[in-house]
Chain A
Amino acid sequence: MEKERHVLVIFPHPDDEAFGVSGTIATYIEMGVPVTYACLTLGEMGRNLGNPPFANRETLPMIRKKELQASADAMGLTDLRMMGLRDKTVEFEDDEKMVKLVADLIEELNPSLIISFYPGLSVHPDHDATGRAVVEAIRRMSESERPKLYTIAFDNKTVEVIGHPDVHHDVSGVTEKKLGAMNAHASQTVWMMEDMQKRLDAEDADALRWLKTEHFYTYTF
């Protein structure tokens, strides 16, 4: 991984960073690269409440806020921004307000790399709306000033539309931190991680690839 001036990660939900980016974040931090994570919502509309339930609609945001902070701690991330939007409403916010939210972060932090979702190929409406705002904010900058944009895409038709990722990060040096970030979001990941841990213990090739490598699509303007 190349050294960056500053990395800005923008996702809408606590845990969006954990599955496919936490190793990259932790690795940059170990390299001494400043990383800021702007998380737009607290995942207020998450459906996993358990049965019997461990939370309700009104207590879930506070649980997820603590999990987000714990995930940041696990990755060694100190600049965590909670942007105060509500889960599942990002696409209904004023488009210019969303672009400004991103533009203000870029102006303040002057990142050389931004990581977000690929608009239109990220399944959740909040993901796509976040990616749209990021792309538009960068598109409005002069070409020479634009940061690089790495994106996550996982729609079922992703490969058909944009092929395979072109950026591959070896994060094998921070696997404990990555697992720490995943486990920090227990309200969302505990079922997935039970299965994942079994696969890792059995040295399942796909699970080990997931743990040790992360993949992105460079967004081209």
Chain B
Amino acid sequence: MELVQRDQLQSLIDSFAGKDVYIHLETTNGSYAAHFQEGFFNAGAFIRNIVVNYELGKVAGDSPHRIGLKLPSGWIYAQGITHYELDEHGRLLMAGLGPDGKLAVSLEISETPFTY
């Protein structure tokens, strides 16, 4: 993955619009957050291989970016996106990596299902 280049990421997001695509979306503080910092309120969410068809997708803000996908009757968004790549399977992988190299958020779009 490379640091987000906004125009390139925007055109990649545009290329998946109007298609049935598989989504991976994840936010995390890690399972050890409350272990290392007592009282830490640990929250996160994960969804994988959900099929959606978005009509409009946007990259917003300066780095770290926000990504929003407008669905026929709903929304998907992720904030904190710093890195991206179009992998060898044609999947658009986006992630928010902290300065410590730890993933905090991930949004991925693919025309084929992700592994389990």
Contact = CB atoms under 8 A, between A and B. Distances in A.
Interface in A34-66: 45, 47-53, 56-59, 61
Interface string B81-94: 01101010001010
Given A47-B103, A49-B101, A49-B103, A57 B95 contact: yes
A88 interface: yes
Contacts of B79: none
A156 interface: yes
A155 B108 CA distance: 34
B115 interface: yes
A124 interface: yes
Contacts of B108: 57-58
Nearest to A13: B31
A55 B93 CA distance: 11
A125 B24 CA distance: 21
B98 interface: yes
Contacts of A50: 97, 101
B103 to A, nearest CB: 5
Contact of A58 (B28, B32, B93, B98): B93
Contacts of B104: 47
Interface in B58-116: 82-83, 85, 87, 91, 93, 95, 97-104, 106, 108, 114-116
10 contacts: A45-B26, A45-B46, A47-B103, A51-B98, A51-B100, A57-B93, A57-B106, A57-B108, A58-B87, A156-B35
Given A45-B28, A86-B116, A56 B38 contact: no
Q: Which 10 A-B pairs rank lowest in CB-CB distance, beginning with the nearest?
A: A51-B101, A47-B102, A50-B101, A124-B31, A51-B97, A47-B103, A53-B1, A123-B35, A56-B93, A47-B30
A124 B115 CA distance: 23
A138 B33 CA distance: 31
A53 B93 contact: no
Contact of B38 (A45, A84, A86, A156): A156
Interface of A: 45, 47-53, 56-59, 61, 84, 86, 88, 123-126, 155-156
Interface residues of B, number: 31
B46 A51 contact: no
Given A51-B100, A58-B114, A123-B31, 5 more contacts: A47-B103, A57-B95, A58-B93, A88-B46, A123-B32
B101 A57 contact: no
A31 B31 CA distance: 36
A126 B30 CA distance: 12
A58 B106 CA distance: 11
A46 to B, nearest CB: 8
B45 to A, nearest CB: 11
Given A123-B35, A156-B35, A58 B103 contact: no
A56 B95 CA distance: 8
